[in-house]
């Protein structure tokens, strides 16, 4: 099976020898087009490092919080079954796809990055599910039952988004492994889950502990 040509070209422009492969995520029945783990075994040149920092290819990794959230939804489909769901900052689309497979009535994958939305489309096809797509959360109507979010709070400047999620959905489910002093009056921690980024980036052990927060308005 060949990787989607446009996604492979985008990755090649970033890292000349990098390739995409269809990988089954650990502990799931989900597949995603991800950067081949063998590409992570060499040192990057200064120019490659600059490009990675300026335009991080978030969409070709399954980050730990996304994997944890996907597993959670598979184990607890009642959170999404029959509901209208929006996946904010969808990236590879892993959480959106998990919601669709768990029986959501509608799932919108939302991301500012056109490549991420393209990856979501390719990954939805790989898993045999249908998603809708959005490039602008704030253009969406307040009509969702649940907003799902993973790996968005890595930048503390994104913390105010916690309030905005509840302007488009009745509930929000946020997975995060970065914020150690998480405090918000509307959000309650439901669980601490274990997961790692895939392919494994050998991140610090603390980033394997994914907290799942829930809010309802």
Q: How confident is the model at residue 30 (pLDDT cuts 50, 70, 90)?
A: very high
pLDDT for 112 beyond 80: yes
Average of per-residue pLDDT across 191-217: 91
Concatenating the DSSP letter of every residue in 98-142 gives: HHHHTT-SEEEEE-S-HHHHHHHHHHHHHHT---EEES-GGGS-S
What pLDDT digit, counting tens, does each position of 54-69 carry?
A: 788 899 999 999 999 9
| Bridge partners, 132 (sequence order) | 108
At residue 3, the pLDDT reads 86
pLDDT for 16 beyond 90: no
Model's pTM, two decimal places? 0.94
Q: How far apart are CA 111 and CA 127, in angstroms?
A: 19
At residue 78, the pLDDT reads 98
Q: Which of 170, 152, 171 is nearest to 161 (CA)?
A: 152
At residue 96, the pLDDT reads 98
* Mean pLDDT over each residue of the chain, to the nearest integer: 93
At residue 83, the pLDDT reads 98
3-state SS, residue 153? coil
> 64-216, what's its fold?
Rossmann fold (3.40.50)
Q: Which two tokens stand for residue 198?
A: 């895939």
Residue 34 · residue 198 · CB < 8 Å: yes
Q: How far apart are CA 172 and CA 147, in angstroms?
A: 5
Average of per-residue pLDDT across 200-211: 87
Domain(s) labelled CATH 3.40.50.150 in the chain stretch across: 64-216
pLDDT for 131 beyond 90: yes
Average of per-residue pLDDT across 146-175: 95
């Amino acid at each position: 099976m060949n990787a989607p040509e446009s996604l492979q070209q985008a990755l090649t422009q970033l890292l000349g020898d990098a390739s995409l492969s269809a990988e089954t995520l650990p502990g799931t029945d989900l597949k995603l087009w991800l950067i081949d783990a063998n590409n992570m075994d060499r040192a990057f040149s200064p120019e490659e490092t600059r490009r990675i920092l300026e335009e991080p290819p978030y969409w070709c990794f399954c980050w730990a919080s996304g994997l944890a959230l996907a597993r959670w939804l598979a184990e607890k489909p009642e959170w999404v079954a029959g509901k209208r769901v929006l996946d904010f900052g969808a990236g590879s689309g892993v959480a959106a796809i998990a919601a669709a497979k768990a029986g959501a009535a509608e799932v919108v994958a939302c991301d500012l990055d056109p490549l991420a939305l393209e990856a979501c489309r390719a990954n939805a096809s790989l898993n045999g599910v249908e998603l809708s797509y959005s490039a602008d959360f704030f253009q969406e109507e307040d009509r969702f039952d649940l907003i799902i979010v993973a790996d968005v709070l890595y930048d503390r400047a994104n913390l105010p988004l916690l309030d905005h999620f509840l302007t488009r959905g009745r509930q929000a489910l946020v997975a995060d492994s970065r914020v150690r002093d998480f405090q918000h009056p509307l959000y309650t921690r439901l669980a601490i889950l274990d997961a790692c980024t895939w392919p494994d980036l050998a991140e610090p052990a603390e980033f394997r502990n994914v907290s799942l927060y829930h809010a309802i308005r």
